[in-house]
Structure 1
Amino acid sequence: MIKTLQKHGNSMALVIEKPVMEAIGIKENTPLQITVNGNALVITPANVGVGQEKVEASLKKMRLRYGPMLKRLAN
């Protein structure tokens, strides 16, 4: 895919179409990490780790399944 920059105020912008955003799993408000590798511009989602919601959901499942056993081990 070949793209050109577009004027946006005093800056230039690269427009990313919705199908591309969906393919890489980003949304309008997703923080992006921009790095330069040689003469290549690399744009990746900045939220590389697991979100807080997923962590809390996983902990809840673990407590339901392993809570009593963990309490016995703690004693």
Structure 2
Amino acid sequence: MIKTLTSHGNSAALVIDKAILELLGISMSTPLKISTDGKSLIVSPLPNVQREERFRAALDKVNKNHGDTLRKLGE
């Protein structure tokens, strides 16, 4: 897919197709990280902090309650 920039006031905008946004789970309110490797522009959605915090809390609870059993299964 080839895109061109669009003028947006004194800035340039890149229009991203709805299908790509849906594929990546990006909405208009998703915070995006923009970086570069020196040759390419990299746009990445930031992880959902609340979801990650809930996941970590659940993981800690499972490890607290079943950590010994899980370690034994891993041996």
1:26-46 per-residue CA deviation (whole Å, 9 max, x = no partner) reads 111100000011210000002
| TM-score of the aligned structures, taking structure 2 as reference length | 0.65
Match of 2:5 in 1: 5
| TM-score of the aligned structures, taking structure 1 as reference length | 0.65
Answer yes or no: is 1:27 the counterpart of 2:27: yes
Give 1:26-45 correspondences, 5 Å limit. 26-45=26-45
Answer yes or no: is 1:16 the counterpart of 2:10: no
Percent identical residues:
43
Instruction: Give the unaligned 5+ runs of structure 2.
Output: 66-75
What is the number of equivalent residue pairs in this alignment?
59
Give runs of ≥4 in structure 1 deviating > 3 Å. none
Match of 1:46 in 2: 46
CA distance in 1, matches of 2:31, 2:21: 12
C-alpha deviation, 1:25, in angstroms: 1.1
CA distance in 1, matches of 2:24, 2:43: 10
C-alpha deviation, 1:53, in angstroms: 5.0
SS at match of 2:22: helix
1:28-70 per-residue CA deviation (whole Å, 9 max, x = no partner) reads 11000000112100000022xx5425618x64xx6xxx6xxxx
CA distance in 1, matches of 2:20, 2:51: 25
